[in-house]
Amino acid sequence: MPRMTSSSTPKPDRTAATLTAIPDRNCTWCKVPMTKRLVGGGLYIHYTCPKCIFQHTSKREKKR
Ligand SMILES: [Zn+2]
């Protein structure tokens, strides 16, 4: 009886890696790293400053 050979290679979770792929952005006023999250289905990056609550939204650029 042939053995069940499972060639399952561990694949990295792409959804978890998206946040780390977002470039950091410092607040224009406080110069502190802003909180970032993906909006619009991952098309836009929404930055929020934890100090002055300054918000900034930028469109993600597709890497070629
Ligand atoms: Zn700020």
Q: What integer pLDDT is reported at residue 1 of this predicted model?
A: 72
Quick one: pLDDT band at residue 18, thresholds 50, 70, 90? low
Q: What integer pLDDT is reported at residue 3 of this predicted model?
A: 77
Q: What integer pLDDT is reported at residue 63 of this predicted model?
A: 64
- Expressed in angstroms and rounded, the spacing between residue 49 Cα and the centre of ligand 1 is 5
What lies within 8 Å, CB to CB, of 36 at 6+ separation is 19, 22, 24, 25, 45, 46, 47, 48
- Nearest by Cα to 56 from 32, 35, 31: 35
CA distance linking residue 59 with residue 49, whole number of Å: 17
- Record the pTM: 0.63
pLDDT tens digits for 19-43? Answer: 667 889 999 999 999 999 999 998 9
Q: What does DSSP assign to residue 63? A: P
- Expressed in angstroms and rounded, the spacing between residue 33 Cα and the centre of ligand 1 is 9
Arithmetic mean of pLDDT, 1-26: 70
Strand, helix or coil for residue 2 = coil
- Expressed in angstroms and rounded, the spacing between residue 34 Cα and the centre of ligand 1 is 8
- Expressed in angstroms and rounded, the spacing between residue 61 Cα and the centre of ligand 1 is 24
